[in-house]
Structure 1
Amino acid sequence: MAQEWRRTEGTTSADGSASVVESSTEPMTDASDSPLDDARPVRKKPRLHDFAAGERGRGPGIPTPLSNNPKAGQWTSERMSHNMIADYKRFLMTDGEGIRCSLYVSGCPFHCEQCYNASIWDFQAGHPYNEKLEAQIMDDLAQSFVQGITFLGGEPLLNTGVLLPLARKIRARFGHDKDIWCWTGYTWEELMRDGESADKMELLREIDILVDGRYLKDQHDSLLQFRGSRNQRIIDVPASLERGEVVIWSKLHDQERFIPEIYGHERAAGEGDAS
Structure 2
Amino acid sequence: MRLLQILADSVVDGPGLRTVVFFAGCPHHCPGCHNPDSWLVEGGADYSVAEVVEQIHMLGSRRITISGGEPFLQRSALVELIAALAGYEIYLFTGYTIEQLLRQEQTQWILSRIDCLIDGRYVRSLHDPSLSIRGSTNQRIILKNELRAFLS
TM-score w.r.t. length of structure 1: 0.51
Shift of 1:170: 1.5
Q: Is the CA contact (8 Å cut-off) linking 2:93 and 2:117 kept in structure 1? A: yes
Change (3 A) 1:244 1:119: closer
Question: What is the Cα deviation at residue 241 of structure 1?
Answer: 3.7
Q: What is the alpha-carbon distance in structure 1 between the residues aligned to residue 29 and residue 99 of structure 2?
A: 19
Task: Report Cα offsets for 1:64-91 as digits up to 9, x if no partner.
Answer: xxxxxxxxxxxxxxxxxxx211111012
Match of 2:89 among 157, 166, 179: 179
Instruction: Point out where structure 2 has 5 or more consecutive residues left out of the alignment.
Output: none
State the shift of 1:125 in Å. 0.9
Structure 1: tracts of 5 or more residues without a match: 1-82, 246-275
Q: Post-superposition shift, 1:162? A: 2.1
Aligned to 1:227: 134
Matched residue, 1:190? 100
- In proportion to residue count, which structure has more helix? 2
Matches within 5 A, 1:48-127: 83-127=1-45
5 Å-filtered alignment, 1:1-275, equals: 83-130=1-48, 131-140=50-59, 143=60, 146-171=61-86, 175=87, 178-192=88-102, 196-236=103-143, 238-244=144-150
Rounded Cα–Cα distance in structure 2 between residues aligned with 1:124 and 1:199: 24
Larger Rg: 1
Residues 167 and 203, structure 1, Cα contact 8 Å, conserved in 2: yes
How many pairs align? 150
Q: With structure 2 as the length reference, what TM-score do the two structures score?
A: 0.90
Deviations 1:192-213 (A, max 9, x none): 3xxx321233222221101110
